[in-house]
Amino acid sequence: MTETIESAAQDDEQGPPRETHRRRPRVHRAWIVAAVTFVTIIGGAAFNSLPGLLIDPLHTEFGWSRGEIGLAVSIDMALYGLTAPFAAALMDRFGIRRVVATALTMVAAGALASVWMTASWQLMIYWGLLVGLGTGSMALAFAATVTNRWFVARRGLVTGILTAAGASGQLIFLPLCAWIVDEHGWRPASFTVALAALVVVPFVWLLMRDHPADVGLAPYGGVYAAKPAPAPGAARRTVKVLFQAARTGPFWLLAGTFAICGASTNGLIRTHFVPSAHDHGMPITAAASLLAVIGIFDVVGTIFSGWLTDRFDARRLLAVYYALRGISLLFLPMLMAPDVRPPMIFFIVFYGLDWVATVPPTLALCREQYGEDSAIVFGWVLASHQVGAAAVAFLGGVARDVFGSYDVVWYASGALCAVAALMSLVIRRARAASGAAGG
């Protein structure tokens, strides 16, 4: 029994596959859905390229302190994380297409409204509230939901690919936005981000499907199953899953390690690397280009991490990733210079391979420990990631205002990564698990 790939514009509601002898499809529809998800995450990630580029321009134009600007970024990151678990439940209730299309529109509205802002409270509303809620609805819980519904085989690999989409967006938009800011100012850069989010909406609406049963298919590597009825009480279910997971030790270990992950990536490098390098005399465009290069190696590292997660113990992978990241951060203050030198390039490559390599094994451990609730649990774990990021985005700016340098933040983050490595090793295996943790 085989099925052809249905037209992307065909009606969503189709019955189960019929006994026919039609030609076997060359590409399973799950890969098309994964491709649309990849492009969507790229579009939503465009905004994440902006904060580090705009700290100095906003400080210069409006006189806002780096702490104030960092607070707006921290609100965005915190809401990004706190929205994620509810977004996973809302996707179960209302469907992926509706939630993601609405989220992209919110990101575009926040980025566009910021063009006319004149006060720091507006920055917190537009960047913090609107963009935070929008990007949170397309967070990694979105990738987890798509992966869980559409794939049985190759889940680790697909998780790695979809996680790498954020880095791909960084690779595309960081150099572009840096050039726009340098040549034309920060407002056209913000408008560009709004446009990027809006362009993706038609792709989501026309090509995304909520469930394999919508097109009469089984998930990739699995067997056909009818689409479950929409689950009412999305918010109640999300909170209930949190309380259930919070009674288990692995949840707190996963949340703690992922909070440190967020602190040492989004909160630290993504927000403060460019202004820190600029403090040492490096042009903003050069620093942004280095950050974009991290995105290149992040794609490689994350996909490879997904491949490794399908084969090895996810706990040990996490311990290695965090240990290596901590070591690299301890050396970073010594590598800052007015121009790009070989040691800095080595750091960028090394750090890039590790940037979000932690996601596939963390998601695999959530899946191993929490089964059908794993996407929502991972959403809460992601919330801790963003709370950690938000704390360092704010405190990093305050540290720069107080000490005149970011060095203390680099050293503290390196030490935290060592703690995360130890925490990863003590996560117990699920009783029902067998074989490799990431299998």
| Residue-level pLDDT at 257 | 94
Question: Residue 191's Cα: distance from chain center in Å?
Answer: 22
Can you read off the two tokens belonging to residue 297? 């190696």
What count of other Cβ atoms lies within 10 Å of the Cβ of residue 370?
Answer: 22
Which region, left, alpha or beta, applies to residue 216 given φ > 0 means left and ψ of -120 to 50 means alpha? left
Q: How far is CA 410 from CA 58, 83, 224, 379, in A?
A: 24, 28, 50, 27
Which helix (DSSP H) or strand (DSSP E) does residue 144 occupy? helix 140-150
The secondary structure of residue 1, as a DSSP letter, is -
Contact 45, 173 (CB under 8 A): yes
SS3 string, 110-133, reads: HHHHHHHCCCHHHHHHHHHHHHHH
| Residue-level pLDDT at 139 | 67
User: Which residue in the block uniquely carries the two structure tokens 């690779």?
Assistant: 171
CA distance 125 to 205: 27
CA nearest neighbour of 414 among 256, 268, 258:
268
Q: What ranges make up the beta strands (E) of 3-46?
A: none
Contact 130, 76 (CB under 8 A): no
| Residue-level pLDDT at 10 | 42
- The DSSP code sequence of 192-236 is HHHHHHHHHHHHHHHH--S-GGGGT-PPBTS---PPPPPPS-HHH
Contact 376, 85 (CB under 8 A): yes
CA nearest neighbour of 145 among 303, 383, 373:
373
Can you read off the two tokens belonging to residue 120? 């720091």
φ and ψ at 189, to 5 degrees? Answer: -65, -40
Q: How far is CA 120 from CA 50, 71, 175, 354, in A?
A: 16, 10, 26, 34
Contact 17, 217 (CB under 8 A): yes
CA distance 144 to 309: 15
* pTM score: 0.68
φ and ψ at 223, to 5 degrees? Answer: -115, 155
CA distance 337 to 281: 7
Can you read off the two tokens belonging to residue 93? 């209730």
CA nearest neighbour of 134 among 115, 110, 117:
110
Per-residue pLDDT of the chain (439 residues), as tens digits, is 334 434 443 444 444 444 333 444 577 888 888 888 888 887 777 776 677 778 778 888 888 887 788 788 888 877 877 787 777 777 877 888 888 888 888 888 888 898 898 888 888 888 888 888 888 787 666 787 888 888 888 877 787 788 777 767 766 777 788 888 888 888 998 888 888 888 888 888 888 888 888 777 888 877 777 777 766 676 787 888 889 999 998 999 999 999 999 899 888 888 888 888 888 888 888 888 888 788 778 778 888 888 888 888 889 999 999 999 999 999 998 888 888 888 898 998 888 888 778 888 998 898 888 887 887 788 788 888 888 988 888 888 888 888 888 888 899 999 999 999 999 999 887 654 333 333 3
Q: How far is CA 265 from CA 233, 258, 345, 381, 413, in A?
A: 34, 10, 17, 15, 9
